[in-house]
Amino acid sequence: MQDQLNEIDFIIKKGIDLAFEQGPRFIGAILILLIGLYVAKFLEKVLGKMMHKSNVDASLVYFIKGLIGALLKTLVIITFLGMVGVQVTSFIALLGALGLAVGMALSGTLQNFAGGVIILVFKPFKIGDLVEAQGHLGTVKEIKIFVTVLLTPDNKTVIVPNGPLSNGDLTNYTTEGKIRVDLVMGISYKANVKNARAALVKVMNEHPKVLQNPKPFVGVLEFGDNSVNLAVRPYSAPQDYWEVYFDIYEAGKEALDAANIEIPFPQMDLHVKEMPRT
């Protein structure tokens, strides 16, 4: 019985000694953990407010806040474990190897993520813009962190990865607020070019969605096999492109007919040469 009491007394003394020896360091580690987590959360909020003031896209703000917050909290936890005596060297090496493996496996996805960040930060286009990229022409319907969604003129949804989209050529037809509509109309070689020009210019000037700055233009483009081809060049707002395109073709045909200007169709003249009789 006495031996058991002595053993218990020894354990209690050891516990007290350990508490006095390790207690301050453990308490300090707990304080570092609590303060570090609080500071990480505070910095996350400050970063979010700064990005909102800079008009950064909301989806990008949420993603970056979460990423920065996770990194800061991981650093705080690693510091805490080191202070309480846990060997974190192998743990950090394991995290590094895991991060490398994940990065290699998701290289394409990470490229698209980086492209999404570039697009959302530098804004080469925005929702509603008419753009042409990666072989597709369409209106930007949605910009996500990994892909951009386009709506084509024939009402098809095209999903374009942000990696190639941010690195490749891109034409934004909306940036300047106006776009030239390129039309070609052929008239007969016997027709009067000035009369045809006047009729077509009148059609464009009367269309409510054809802009007057720059003014509509008609000029001889080329001498075709069957017709004199005129370049008809009205300007419109990007969202009115297709309406102007089809309207001017239709109204132009009616105006040329009314002015008795022939619109020829492909034809071939055959010259028969009479062979001399023997």
> In angstroms, rounded to a whole number, what is the distance separating the alpha carbons of residues 37 and 29?
12
At 227-244, the pLDDT tens digits run 999 999 999 998 899 899
**Domain residue ranges in the chain:** 10-105, 124-172, 179-258
Q: How far is CA 210 from CA 137, 186, 206, in A?
A: 21, 21, 8
Q: Note the pLDDT of residue 265.
A: 75
pLDDT for 275? 66
Give residue 20's pLDDT: 52
Rg (CA), the chain: 37
Q: Which residues contact 23 (CB under 8 A, 6 or more apart)?
A: none
In this prediction, the residues of the chain whose per-residue pLDDT falls under 50 are: 105-106
Which class does domain 124-172 fall in?
mainly beta
pLDDT of residue 106: 47
- Distance CA(82)–CA(187), nearest Å, equals 85
pLDDT in tens, 165-176: 988 899 998 888
Contacts of 76 (CB under 8 A, 6+ apart): 32, 33, 36, 37, 40
Please work out, in degrees rounded to the nearest 5, the angle formed at the alpha carbon of residue 102 by the alpha carbons of 38 and 85. Answer: 45
Choices 3.30.70.100, 3.40.50.300, 3.40.50.150, 3.20.20.70: CATH for 179-258: 3.30.70.100
Is CATH 3.50.30.10 what the domain over 10-105 is classified as, yes or no?
no
The pLDDT score that the predictor gives to residue 91 is 62
Per-residue tokens: 100: 């490398």
- 3-state secondary structure string across the chain: CHHHHHHHHHHHHHHHHHHHHHHHHHHHHHHHHHHHHHHHHHHHHHHHHHHHHCCCCHHHHHHHHHHHHHHHHHHHHHHHHHHCCCCCHHHHHHHHHHHHHHHHHCHHHHHHHHHHHHHHHHCCCCCCCEEEECCEEEEEEEECCCEEEEECCCCCEEEEEHHHHHHCCEEECCCCCCEECCEEEEECCCCCHHHHHHHHHHHHHHCCCCECCCCCEEEEEEECCCCEEEEEECEECHHHHHHHHHHHHHHHHHHHHHCCCCCCCCCCCCCCCCCCCC
